[in-house]
Amino acid sequence: MKYISIVGSVEEGRPYDPPLRNAAEAKRTAELLGTELAKRGYGVIVYSGGYIERDVARGFVKVAKAKKSIRVLFPSHQKGPEEFPEYANHKALFEPIVDESPDWEMSFYGSLPRVDGIVIIGGAASTLITGVLALSYRIPLIALQSFGGSGEKIWRALSAGRGLTTKEEANEMAQKSDREMIGKWINSLEAQAEARRQEILNSSGGHWLLVAGALAVGWVLTLPLGWLLQVPPNAEGWRPHAFIFLLFLAPMLAGASGATVRMFLPDASTPNLRSIFLGMVAGGVSGVLLLTSHLVAKTDPHNFVILMTAVASGFIAGLTFDAVFKKLESVDVVRTDVLKKVKT
């Protein structure tokens, strides 16, 4: 289950910057949000029954069925779930989590990197810090503009493109909070979560691992295919031609695979399309040279051993070509110093 952290406050008498607006509407929105999150199968993380979380919990319990879907995180000196009126009749829905630290800041801010999303409604100084941390950690985030407070400040940052939201999603966070719009906010959380996964995948090079695996499987599969296609000398039909085609294709795949395997070497850079293309070319050239040598020597190329040799040479060529090519580029092969006139 994914858990969304609810943060903010709309309590009268507290200083808010920008000033608080439509407090009653904000509480109604929080209640509707809780109901929609429960319908979507989310859990919520709440911290205190004295703020906006109280309204979210009230809406959440109306339709929630999953046990321990409301996590209450609190320091040891606070009451915890007892602060929520719904706890008395829906204890199975609540999961009290007592933080060892007596400071609420430690338990509150320390929990943020582990949540699946954050919703900000109103709020003062601590809510602003929460929003800044969410932007820094690239956590899926909803910040509502309509009710003022720190939620509006964080919304401005989202609208300026500092988070994971699109311009359209940020605009929706400033719209009237009916059920349809709240559904769009939750859709935005899900879209932001996917965008974050893609960011992590791209930064970690995970997609290149998939490419490297696919290329490795490709050239490995050419070996049993070559075993099936090998034919005796002077054979006729399509199989001899297919085997020769495989002698070109297999080392090209192996060369591209070798180029991606370089990413696992110490201090190696992440592969890219250029390095894969260079590896493929190197592997193909090595296959051509090997085949040419057999044709010049007038030996039969329709041999499984030749295929294995072509694959091995293609892989090595792809593994080393990029590094060797860079060194060749830096070498001055035409030395002009010997042409300088010797002074007498």
Q: How many CA atoms lie within 13 A of 240 on its CB side?
A: 9
Residue-wise pLDDT tens digits, 14-72: 899 999 999 999 999 999 999 999 999 999 999 988 899 999 999 999 999 999 999 99
What does the alpha-carbon distance between residue 220 and residue 215 come to, in Å, rounded to a whole number? 9
CA angle 141, 142, 145 (to 5 degrees): 140
What does pTM read for this prediction?
Answer: 0.66
pLDDT band at 247 (very low <50, low <70, confident <90, very high): confident
- Mean local confidence (pLDDT), 195-208: 72
Q: What is the DSSP letter of 45?
A: E
More confident residue, 20 or 317: 20
Report the candidate in 259, 254, 244 with the shortest Cα–Cα distance to residue 313. 254
Tell me what pLDDT residue 267 has.
56
What residues contact residue 171 under an 8 Å CB cut-off, 6+ apart? 159
Tell me what pLDDT residue 66 has.
93
DSSP letters, 218-276, are HHHHHHHHHHHH---TT--SHHHHHHHHHHHHHHHHHHHHHHHHGGGSTTPPPP-HHHH
Contact 201, 210 (CB under 8 A): no
Contact 260, 303 (CB under 8 A): no
Contact 151, 16 (CB under 8 A): no
What does the alpha-carbon distance between residue 195 and residue 100 come to, in Å, rounded to a whole number? 34
168 pLDDT higher than 60 = yes
pLDDT band at 269 (very low <50, low <70, confident <90, very high): low
More confident residue, 157 or 314: 157
Query: 65 by DSSP, 3-state: which?
Result: coil
Residue-wise pLDDT tens digits, 277-304: 888 888 888 888 887 887 777 677 777 8
Kindly tell me the burial class for residue 20, based on how many C-beta atoms sit within 10 Å of its own C-beta (0-12, 13-18, 19 or more): buried
- Mean local confidence (pLDDT), 319-341: 57
Residue-wise pLDDT tens digits, 92-106: 999 999 987 777 888
For the chain, the straight-line distance linking the first and the last C-alpha, in angstroms and rounded, comes to 87
Cis status of the peptide bond prior to 271, with omega within 30 of 0: no
Tell me what pLDDT residue 198 has.
81
135 pLDDT higher than 70 = yes
Task: Give CA separation, 246 vs 7, 134, 254, in Å.
Answer: 61, 53, 12
Q: What is the DSSP letter of 175?
A: S
Kindly tell me the burial class for residue 266, based on how many C-beta atoms sit within 10 Å of its own C-beta (0-12, 13-18, 19 or more): exposed
Instruction: Read off the amino acid at residue 119.
Output: V
Tell me what pLDDT residue 317 has.
81
Work out whether the CA dihedral 124, 134, 103, 44 comes out positive or negative: positive
Tell me what pLDDT residue 83 has.
92
- Mean local confidence (pLDDT), 218-239: 76
Instruction: Read off the amino acid at residue 330.
Output: S
Percent of the chain with pLDDT over 70: 86
Task: Give CA separation, 328 vs 79, 220, 253, 274, 321, in Å.
Answer: 71, 31, 24, 17, 10
Following CA atoms 176, 10, 144, 41 in sequence, which dihedral angle do they give, to the nearest 10 degrees?
A: -90
pLDDT band at 141 (very low <50, low <70, confident <90, very high): very high
> Mean pLDDT of all residues in the chain?
85
What does the alpha-carbon distance between residue 201 and residue 186 come to, in Å, rounded to a whole number? 23
- Mean local confidence (pLDDT), 176-201: 90
